[in-house]
Each structure stands twice: as C-alpha cells, then as structure tokens.
C-alpha cells in the first residue's frame, strides 16, 4: 500500500518535472530586455532639443533571440509588451525579427567587444547549451525508463530512472546558476551599457528574467523529488525481493 502511494506521487512529480523542463527548454523567454536610446540625425537634432527616444524590446532563450522596435511609451504598458512578445500574429504585424541564439553570448558582439572577450563568452554559452541539452535528454530518458519499469516492476529500471531524474535536476540547476552568474555576477552587462552610452545619449538597459527562467527551478525541484522517490522505490523493491 505504501509502495503504491509512493509510486503514485513519484509518477506525478516525474510528469511535472518533464513538463517544466521541456517548457523551460522549448520556450525562448529566459531573458526579457529593453533598450532605450536617443536617436539623432546629422543636422544636430539633439542640440535643438528634438531628439527622438526609441526602444528595442527583445527576448532570448535556447533556440532564438527575437527583437522588435517600439516607442518608449510601451515601457509603461507591460500588457502591450506581453502582447507583442507572446502573440504570433502581433509579432508578425509589428516586424518582430528572430535570429538563432544557440551560441549568442548576450549581450556581446564583435562590434562592441574584443575577440578574446567574445570567444570566452562563446565558450561560456556553449557549456550552458550543453548542460541544457544533457538535462533535457536525461529527463526524457528517465521518463521513458520509468514507463518501461511499471509493467515489469523492475527495481533496476526504477533506480536507473530515478538516477536520470536526479542527473537532470543537477544539470538544470547548473544551467540556472550559470545564467544568473552571467547576468548578475560578471560585469558583461555593465561593459555593454558603458559602450552603448558612448554612442547614444541617455542609453538605458532594462533586464528581467522571463517565464522560461522561472520554469527552470520549478523543474529542478520536481526532478530532484521524483528522482529521489523513484530511487528509494527501486531500493525498497530490491530489499523485498531478497
């Protein structure tokens, strides 16, 4: 009876872990950002006090980095920003552009940083991407093994599936921590803002974490919980067999 209850909750936690991990992986909203800059023309509009403030909004994830231009008034309207970012038809009508982001080291570019810094960012992003892929692979394989273990009541398969869920939780936790370190600890963003400020007066960058980032720690929690339960279930079944 106790084993059946444990299997029931472990299955629910495993399903939730898989859903949240796939949502975090498949949706490109790890990072939400907006840039506000003062645009001038060659006639010295800034000196006459007629400079135009423009904003660029973008979001980034594992697969894509998308951006679109808007007015500064949109920054005061979060619902409108949400509409343009998440609704496909609105994105198309507003000229939203997306580029592959597998190795895009936000917010670095060869135009604003030297080659050494850019290459280091590429390597960092590469490890981030590899850990993400390993985590997704582990959680999918773990779920498949658990499904195969159910009809045969195999303690080996339960322990293997639980181990894969624990491994997936570790990799996704590493991905989350690396992303926070990249934005909060390293001075990459400050360097980017400093160099942009020389080109555009009153340049302002706003960064926040998106839904994909929020899904990640939730997925980590359920991965670790499901993995621990499945591993203990497999061990309990092994003890009963002997």
42-63 residue pLDDT tens: 445 444 444 556 777 888 888 8
Which carries the bigger pLDDT value, residue 90 or residue 26? 26
Integer Cα distance of 36 and 95 in angstroms:
18
141-172 residue pLDDT tens: 999 999 988 777 788 899 999 999 999 999 99
The rounded radius of gyration (Å) of the Cα atoms in the chain is 23
Identify the domain containing residue 197 by its residue range.
Answer: 2-241
Report the half-sphere exposure of 118 (CA within 13 A, side-chain side). Answer: 9
Integer Cα distance of 135 and 227 in angstroms:
13
Q: For residues 142 and 210, is the Cβ–Cβ distance under 8 A?
A: no
Q: Is the pLDDT of residue 201 over 70?
A: yes
Q: What is the pTM of this model?
A: 0.80
Q: For residues 164 and 149, is the Cβ–Cβ distance under 8 A?
A: no
CATH code of the domain covering residue 234: 1.20.140.150
Three-state SS for 6?
Answer: helix
Going across the sheet that includes 204-209, the strands are 97-100, 64-71, 52-60, 31-39, 204-209
CB-based burial, 186-199: b 16+ in 10 Å, e otherwise? eebbeebeeebeee
209-242 residue pLDDT tens: 888 999 999 999 999 999 999 999 998 887 876 6
Q: Is the pLDDT of residue 177 over 50?
A: yes
**pLDDT value at residue 182:** 85
The count of structural domains within the chain is 1
């Amino acid at each position: 009876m106790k084993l059946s209850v444990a299997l029931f909750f472990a299955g629910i936690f495993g399903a939730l872990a898989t859903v949240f991990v796939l949502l975090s992986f498949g949706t490109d909203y790890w990072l939400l950002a907006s840039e506000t800059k003062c645009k001038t023309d060659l006639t010295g509009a800034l000196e006459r006090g007629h400079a135009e403030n423009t904003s660029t909004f973008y979001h980034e994830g594992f697969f894509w980095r998308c951006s679109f231009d808007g007015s500064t008034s949109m920054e005061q309207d979060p619902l409108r920003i949400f509409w343009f970012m998440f609704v496909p038809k609105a994105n198309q009508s507003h000229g939203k552009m997306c580029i592959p982001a597998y190795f895009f080291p936000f917010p670095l570019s060869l135009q604003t940083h030297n080659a050494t810094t850019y290459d280091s960012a590429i390597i960092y992003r590469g490890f981030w991407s590899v850990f993400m892929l390993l985590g997704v692979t582990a959680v999918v394989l773990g779920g498949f093994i658990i499904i195969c273990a159910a009809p045969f009541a195999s303690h080996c398969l339960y322990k293997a599936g639980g181990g894969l869920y624990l491994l997936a939780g570790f990799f996704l936790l590493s991905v989350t921590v690396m992303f926070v370190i990249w934005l909060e600890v390293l001075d990459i963003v400050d360097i980017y803002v400093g160099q942009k400020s020389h080109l555009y007066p009153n340049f302002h960058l706003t960064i926040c974490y998106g839904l994909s980032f929020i899904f990640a720690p939730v997925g980590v929690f359920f991965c670790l919980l499901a993995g621990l339960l499945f591993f203990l279930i497999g061990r309990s079944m092994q003890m009963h067999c002997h």
